[in-house]
Structure formats: structure tokens, C-alpha cells
Amino acid sequence: MTAAIPHPQFRNTHRLNPEKKSTVSVGTEQSGLLVFFDNRSGSRHHTPYLTPVLGKIMQLNRLTAGILLAVWGSASVAAESGAAANVTAAQAALAAANSSKLETLIVTGSRSVSDNRTIENSPAPIDVLSDEVIQQANQTGLLQTLNTTLPSFNVPGLPGYGTNSVVRAGQLRGLNSSHVLVLVNGKRRHTTARLGAGGFAASAPVDLGLIPTGSIERIEVLRDGASAIYGSDAIAGVINIITKKDSSGGSVSVRAGEYYEGDGDTQQYIARAGFEIGDGGHFHIAAQYDDQKPAFRDGPVPDDVLFYFPLDANGNQIVPVGNRSTGPKLPAGATPDPREATVDRHKVFGASGGVAEAEFAALTLDFGLPLNAQTELYGFASYAGREGRSAQHFRFPSRDQVIRAIWPDGFTPYTGVEEKDYSVQLGVKGEDLAGWNWDLSSVYGKDDVDTYQYDSNAPSYGLASKTDFFLGTYQYTAWTNNADLSRTLDSGLFGLTTDLSFGAEYRYETYKRTAGEEQSWNHGGQLILDGPNAGKPISISDAGSQADTGVRPEDVADDSRDSYALYAGVSLYPTDAWVIDLAARFEDYSDFGDITTGRVSSRYEFTDSLALRGTVATGFQAPALAALTFRNTGVTVENTNHTLPVDSPEARALGATPLQPEESLSYTLGLVAQLADDISLAVDVYRIDVDDRISQLSTFRESTHPGSGVLVQAASPDFGPDDGISYLINAGDTRTEGVDVTLEGGFDTRNAGEFRWSLAANYNETELKKIAPTPAVLAQFNVPLYSAASQANLLYLAPRFKGIASLNWSLENWSAALTATRYGEIKRSTSVNVNGVSTPTVFSVGDLWVVDLELGYEFNDNLSLRLNANNLLDEKPAKLPEGSTALWPFQSYSYVNNGPINAAGGFYSATLAYKW
């Protein structure tokens, strides 16, 4: 059985029945004549006298045109060859009504050689985002583009401070950011070198923010478990980015905008061009530059919170009263420093109030060169560079960690990131090697992150302290090699049409962490220089630069591992209406052993307009290489926290055990229906069980768990009893259940233009089925393995409900698009001070609508202008509850940092594009 292949001389060619591997295509020649092409015989059938009439009809009603095309085409072809007798009017109508979709064949979700997989007939749910959709999202980066267009994808506003506010990640179906596998042109993409991206302590996902949108042809998002096909990480699904491969033409575009409040200026420049090489080959180059200025929305510091030391009756500086819950306050009988009256009380307290500063540049190259009629050499290369600055909490000058001789009015430290990212893939593929298609490929990727602390100080170095510090380098590389074979047997297993695929993979990973400069981590021995505590020693916990400290020499790492995999896939077609996909994979890792996964996926078509699909799959995620030896020291406004390597003697003495891979079992059941001529519905329900979720032990210290200070000090002589201690753990088992719904359609009018609309929604809920037992050494001090705050982050970081409604309109040179996104309840936990007692509370940062609007005009075939308003109604996220003790009291006026949107508010921009 041969799949239909459009004739190379035809344009606008559509298969009449791609779902059933029809052998007939419909198209038009360059002359405009309507043509039917029999792929088996190679014969063409012209209809010159009907082409003008049918062309007019097609402009008015594609469905009617499809029926007439089918009737005429079937009669014409049958009269001359009889080869297309199985082509029905209904099949042609369906193809004509949905031709724009059927032209996009999908390549994600199976290694099958078949070339007839589309969104509609895939056994698994797949979203396809075209270049047009990506542009319409009007987002600076790919990460936010996915968040804007996919209900099942969530990007927390800022799940953390410091480096993780620059290196970010998203969630698919509410799972970890590292539970989604990212491919580029079907090949595995390397991950970030930074652990903790996306709000999950042990995650090292692919940094989608480093993939330029200007080089993307389309994105295929598989919402289903696929570890048996692609390996580790594909528990929630797969994102496959297909790059542009044009051999001619090109475009340039300029985008500029700012937030309603006049800050956060954004500029974006994209240029691309395609060139023909050799005989039928292509070379495509794309470049992109983004410049994002900061925008902060933190509230003012309340008047009763002191910046400076208060004064006693003799004018001497004294220590203020108050604590972390109340802030520094004026003692009885004291007077405030005169500078309190004139100090600027609008300070930056972290990037939670808006958008961090970032600069991004990228270059991509894509080429393909036929070596002969059956063999092609192909490749893709990308380079991305990013610099970012993210604000941390303002440091009051009354804190002895501030060198007042350098910063008399305090300072806001900024975390800096300078990142370089490379990827090169090279391969050769061919057809008909003893009947097999084959593909040999090799991909090398590297992420190199240099970290800095700006506008800070190292208090233990006194006047010799620097203000800018190099904190260390994080580096990850991955080298992945694949060999794949595939073929179709007309009479294969059980006498059925069978697609077979086999493959092998070898992957080698490295991870390095280098030390920062000495002042960033060391204790210089200087005493407190001035103030009420002058002459007292600086705590050992306050060694290094403030906000983020550097990587200590004992924290450096140089690790590697390799893995081998064998995999196979079978696609069976028992009938024209039924397809069954089977996949299995064996994988062996040098650091934790082997694992086998499997997948069964099927689709049955009851009628031309109704089908059922489903998948059962096992999956896994290997612990990130960085997680196995991760060690870190962080300094907050009030505390110093240490994350110990899970394999260190100190961590083992506190009950740590080696990290095990997460394993999953997932089920998906979906219904696909064509409700009317141009209205389609897809409903997919799913359950994903994940065992041994990797997370982080609840931080403990003497003040939170009395008596545990002895454990803290036993871990290291340099630790104070109130330093926080933690390490990575296999926390427990979860179950995620949800449903994805998509309803879309469109209609044409004679005078008012063409309308396309869609309604898409995701409902998602996660429960913690089991928590691993707490080690006895911690249980004696009531230290929980997994705190309520950590559980809340796991269960509630993603929205329970997210819906996106869109309406697109076009008429001649004009176009418009309106998108409304609904976020349902999103729970967050904090503590509120009630009569001096810290009381846990849960509140929602969801329950909001975000509306985006675009207006477009094409001056001619080459030049166009788009005007956009993102967050048109200037919606802001929730604020922390009054009296919150999670942060300083002035933060009760600030916005939650990890909600679905940031606090910058409405944003407007204009994009001018020229293509040729």
C-alpha cells in the first residue's frame, strides 16, 4: 500500500484520503488547470473547462467545492484508469474542508515510516503551532509563546530568585519542568546546566528560552507519555521544534514595545534567508536579537519600618526592635535617624514585581543536500548568547551584612548571568537500503552559564570588599548518537500492512561546576566596622557576597555518565479505520543501571467524522547529572541555607540515600469528532502516575526544629546552629489526572471576511499518593521529609484550570486576532502573623482573565504591519495576604512572584515585517 505523494509539478496538492493512504491527489498545475494525479500509475487528468467554475466555488465554500471535485475527479479518473475507485465524495469533502491542516504532516509520536500522519488521524493528541501562530503570540521568547498558546503548558511567573529568574522553564500537564522532552528536528536537545529551573529543585530541563522563534517553521507538541520512543524525560510529553528549510526567499522584521507604565522597553530583530545549494538542496540561515529592559512593580516600604539604626537619648545608634515578621521598628524612648524622613521608600525587592533585564542573540543554520536520488546529508546548528540581570531583595543599611562605608543607604543586589549555548547536529539518511529507510545522526550540545553578583558586598572583607563578584561557572554537555531503520511491509505481521522501526542510541553527558572568586565565598576575617555592633565578628554564615554567594572549592564538580539504548516500534493497520502503534525501549545508564519502557497507542475510526484514540505507556526520568553531586550555599535576607550533595558523608549521616530514577505509568483516552463541515472537537482524558518524584528535603535549622542545631553543626564546623540544611530526595509518589478539550472551527462570509475560532482548555489535578519515610535521625527532631510548602509547590504550581479562547478574522489586506486566557484557582501557601503567631494559610493567585489583541495590515505581498496589545486590560497578579510572614512586611504590598502572570501589566508593541 503506497501513500499518496504530491506530484512535484503541482502546487496546492492535497490527498483526498490521507487517513486511509489513498493513492489519489488533487491539485493544480502552474497553469491553474485542475488536476487529478494517480500516484500508482503516474497519470494526470486535466479538467480545463471546469477549473474556472470550481475556482469560484472554492472561494465561496470549500466543502461544496470538495464534493464537486470528488464527483468529477472520481468519474474522470475511473473513466481513464479505474485506479481511484475507492475515493468517495465524503472523503474528498473532508480533505477540501480541512486542506490547510492536512497539508501539515506530523513527525512526532512515532518512528513509523508512514508519511500520512496528521493532527486529525494521530493515535495520540498533538498540537501543531505554525509560524503564523508563533508570530501572533507576540512574545519575546519561545517559552512564553508556548504558555500563551497551549492550555496544558504553564510557565510560572518567577518560581525563584537569582539565576532561576533568568533561566526559566515551563510545565506540561502540571508535571515537573523536566518531564517534557524537547527535540529539534526530531533529535534530542541538550538541557540547561542550571539545576532548579522551572521551580523544581532537582530539575534540569531544556531551556526553551535559548531557541530563537525566528528560525521555527512549526512546533509539534505531543501530549502523551513517549519514553518508549524517545527515552528519559518524556513522561508528560514531547515538544518537537521543526526549523525552517526554505531554499529561497527570506524576511526581516522589527518589533518594539513597552509596558503601559512606560518601562520594560523591548526590541526584537529577526532576519532569515534561504538559498538553494547543489541539486535540490537548501541552506537556511536565521538570526535574532532581543533586548528586554527591566520593569519592577514592588510597593513602598511602610513608614514604620526603619532603614537606619534608631538613636537613643544621647544620639547613639542602637539596635532596632522587631523581627522578620514585623520588620525593624523603633524601640520605646528612641528616635528615628533623621535620614528616615528623606529616604526613598520605593525600593526593588526582587524581580517578583515585574520583568528582569535580559539581552539575547542567536544564530541558526539549517541545510540539506541530496547526495544522490536516495541519500541526503542534513544538519542543523545553533548558537545563543544571553545576558541577564535579576534583582534580589533590598538590603537595609541597618543590617550588619551591609558595609555602610560602601553602601550608606543600603543596596539592591543583582544576580547576573552570562550564558553561551551551542548545538550541532549532523546526519545522513536514505531510502531503499535492502528495502529499509535509514538515518544516522549525531548531535552535540553545550550550555555554559557564568554567574555573577552585582551591586553587593562581602561583609567579612570590610573596606577591601568588592561590589561585583564572579560566582562560578555551570557547564553541561550532551553528545547523542542514533542509528535508525524503518520500512513498510504491505503484508507484514499477521498479513497486515506493517510499519517497522528499529534503532540504537548512545549518549554521553558531562557536568562541571567551577569555583567563584575568593571574595564571593570566603570569610575575610574583618569585624563589623560601625554601628551598635561595631567590633563584633561577622558570622561565618555571612561569608562571601550577599544575596548569592560563589561556588566554594569544596562544591566544585566534574562528573560524567553514558547510556545505551535499543528501541523498536511497530505500526499495524488491521483495517483502513484502525491503526495500532507499539513501542519498546531498553536503556542502560552507567550510574544507576537499566530500565525498560513500553507503549501501546491506537486509533479507531468509527466513521469519517468520529474516532477514538488511546495510549498506555510506561516512562522514566533519569536523575539530572547535576543533581547527583549538587551542593549549594544561599544567603537570604535573614538566613544562610546549605544544600548538601546527596552522596556526601554529611548528607548520608543525615539519612540521605542515592537518587533513583522516577518511573511513570500513564493512560490517555481521547475522542475526535468532526461535528460539522468546519467544526472539530477533540477530548482527551489522562492519568499519569509518577513514582519516586525527585525533590528536596525540607530545610531544617535550630529555630524551626528545636534541637536539630546539633545536626547542623555536626554536618560542618563552619555551619552555625541556625543555618539551614537540606539535600535532594526521592520524595514520594504522585497521581495527576486531567482532561484536554479543543473545539475549533471557522466560516467564510461574502463581504465580512473569513473567521477562524477556537476554544481550548485543560483541567489538571495532582495528588500526593505516598510520601517516603523520614530518616530516623531527622524524625527525632520532628523534621518532615517533605514540608507542607514543598508539597504545595508540587501540587499547586500549575493552574487547576486554564482555558484559551481565540477569534481570528481576515478580509483582503486586513486581519485581527482576539485571544482571552482564563486561569482558574491557583493555590499558594504562606504564613500570616495572627496576634504574633505565624499561622499557615492558603490563598489563590488565579481566578483571572488575560486578553490579547492584534491588528494587522498587509501593504502589499512583501510589507506588513502588526499592532499588538498583550494583557490588554492591564491585569495584575494577586498580592501577598496582609500580614504575611513569608517575606518582610513591606512585601505584603508586593505581588506574588510565581503566579501565572507577572506584575508588569499591559504591554503594547508594533512589528514591521518585510519578506521576499
pLDDT at site 301: 84
Weakest mean pLDDT among 28-37, 381-390, 628-637, 788-797 = 28-37
- pTM listed for this prediction: 0.85
User: Crossing angle, helix 89-97 and helix 62-80, to 10 degrees?
Assistant: 140
pLDDT at site 886: 52
Confidence of residue 87 (pLDDT cuts 50, 70, 90): very low
State the chain's mean pLDDT as an integer: 85
Q: What is the pLDDT of residues 709-758, one digit of tens each?
A: 999 988 888 788 888 999 999 999 999 999 999 999 999 998 999 999 99
Q: Which of 209, 204, 231 is nearest to 559 (CA)?
A: 204
Q: What CATH code is assigned to 126-301+346-915?
A: 2.40.170.20
pLDDT at site 324: 59
Q: Give the residue with greater pLDDT, 646 vs 834.
A: 646
Q: Give the residue with greater pLDDT, 860 vs 325.
A: 860
Helix (H, G, I), strand (E, B) or coil at 779: helix
Q: Give the residue with greater pLDDT, 901 vs 50.
A: 901
Q: Which of 181, 260, 74, 149 is nearest to 805 (CA)?
A: 149
Residue 43 has pLDDT above 80, yes or no: no
Task: Enumerate the H helices of 352-469 as residue ranges.
Answer: none
pLDDT at site 652: 92
**CA–CA separation, 482 vs 585, rounded Å?**
13
Q: Give the residue with greater pLDDT, 253 vs 879.
A: 253
- The three three-digit cell numbers of residue 424, written as one number: 550541532
CA quadruple 243, 743, 617, 500: dihedral sign: negative
Residues 6+ apart with CB under 8 A from 892: 879, 880, 881, 882, 883, 884
Q: What is the pLDDT of residues 492-537, one digit of tens each?
A: 888 888 999 999 999 999 999 999 999 999 999 999 999 999 999 9
pLDDT at site 38: 40
Average pLDDT over residues 884-912: 77
pLDDT at site 2: 35
Residue 704 has pLDDT above 70, yes or no: yes
Q: What is the pLDDT of residues 169-195, one digit of tens each?
A: 899 999 999 999 999 999 999 999 998
pLDDT at site 106: 80
Residue 280 has pLDDT above 50, yes or no: yes
Which of 44-53, 100-109, 366-375 has the largest mean confidence? 366-375
Q: What is the pLDDT of residues 622-662, one digit of tens each?
A: 999 999 988 887 766 667 888 999 988 999 999 999 999 99
pLDDT at site 102: 40
Confidence of residue 326 (pLDDT cuts 50, 70, 90): low
Residue 33 has pLDDT above 50, yes or no: no
pLDDT at site 609: 93
Task: Give the other-Cβ count within 10 Å of 823's Cβ.
Answer: 23
- The three three-digit cell numbers of residue 254, written as one number: 522589527
Instruction: Locate CATH 2.40.170.20 in the chain.
Output: 126-301+346-915
pLDDT at site 873: 96
Residue 805 has pLDDT above 60, yes or no: yes
Residues 6+ apart with CB under 8 A from 495: none
pLDDT at site 98: 39
